[in-house]
């Protein structure tokens, strides 16, 4: 697959801070994750921390980022660790969700290529590190997936994203977070 069109690249990589640490902050960081739209096999990912937006674009090949993100969230809520690989071609990023008791981290690390990210080997660059309560992190990722699910007829049309939406995993994550059976058009309702 070719590199994303210039209009889709946004600030992916070039203007991101090397590392953002929130551990020293007395307050919980405000985190918002937004997914979509998909265009020509590229899914837009926006992670906003305390009003600063970081943009990324995941290729639909060689893996389905949405499936990996939903699986990572499910694993995070179940056993405290989850990983999804975001392939930006040629660079790839490893998005890790990890919990230590009531605290959690979202870590985004850049690798030179997809296989290095999968193997967690080679040279890495920390792109983003957010520490916050585990429940808040889980809710932020779940809300992003639910919002995309609610609007998938518009944001994930088959000619722009070839994979099915992981509805079962997202519903399961909602149940673990105490938010089962919420209306599709209202991901934040609770």
Angle at 141 between CA 136 and CA 186, to 5 degrees: 95
Specify the pLDDT at position 187.
Answer: 52
DSSP string of 143-170, one letter each residue: HHHHHHHHTHHHHS-TTT--SPP-HHHH
If phi over 0 gives left and psi between -120 and 50 gives alpha, with beta otherwise, what is residue 6? alpha
Specify the pLDDT at position 190.
Answer: 44
**Bridge partner list, 38:** 43
Query: In this model, does residue 182 exceed pLDDT 70?
Result: no
Site of tokens 């080679």: 122
Domain layout of the chain by residue ranges: 8-169
Q: What percent of the chain has pLDDT over 70?
A: 81
If phi over 0 gives left and psi between -120 and 50 gives alpha, with beta otherwise, what is residue 183? beta
Confidence of residue 5 (pLDDT cuts 50, 70, 90): very low
User: Helix, strand, or coil here: 9?
Assistant: helix
**Tens-digit pLDDT profile for residues 66-79:** 999 999 999 999 99
Structure tokens at 181: 């059976």
User: Helix, strand, or coil here: 177?
Assistant: coil
Structure tokens at 175: 């149940």
Specify the pLDDT at position 158.
Answer: 85
> What is the 3-state composition of the chain as percent helix, strand, coil, each rounded to the nearest 5?
30, 30, 40
As a whole number of angstroms, the distance between CA 145 and CA 141 comes to: 6
Question: Which pTM value belongs to this model?
Answer: 0.81
Total residues belonging to the chain: 190
**In this structure, how many other beta carbons lie within 10 angstroms of the beta carbon of residue 119?**
10
Closest CA to 143 of 59, 47, 42, 20: 47
If phi over 0 gives left and psi between -120 and 50 gives alpha, with beta otherwise, what is residue 41? left
Specify the pLDDT at position 22.
Answer: 39
Q: What is the CATH number of domain 8-169?
A: 3.30.2450
């Amino acid at each position: 697959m070719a590199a994303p069109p210039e209009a889709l690249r946004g600030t992916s990589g070039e203007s991101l801070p090397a590392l953002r640490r929130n551990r020293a902050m007395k307050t919980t960081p405000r985190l918002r994750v937004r997914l979509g739209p998909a265009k020509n096999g590229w899914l837009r990912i926006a992670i906003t921390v305390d009003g600063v937006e970081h943009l990324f674009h995941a290729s639909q090949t060689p893996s389905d980022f949405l499936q990996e993100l939903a699986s990572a969230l499910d694993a995070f809520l179940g056993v405290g660790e989850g990983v999804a690989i975001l392939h930006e071609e040629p660079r790839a990023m490893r998005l890790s969700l990890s919990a230590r008791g009531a605290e959690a981290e979202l870590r985004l690390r850049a690798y030179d290529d997809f296989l290095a990210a999968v193997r967690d080997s080679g040279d890495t660059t920390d792109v983003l590190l957010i520490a916050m309560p585990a429940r808040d992190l889980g809710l932020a990722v779940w809300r992003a997936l639910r919002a995309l699910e609610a609007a998938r007829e518009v944001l994930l049309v088959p000619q722009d994203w070839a994979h099915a939406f992981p509805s079962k995993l997202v519903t399961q994550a909602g149940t673990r977070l105490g938010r089962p059976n919420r209306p599709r058009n209202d991901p934040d309702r609770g």
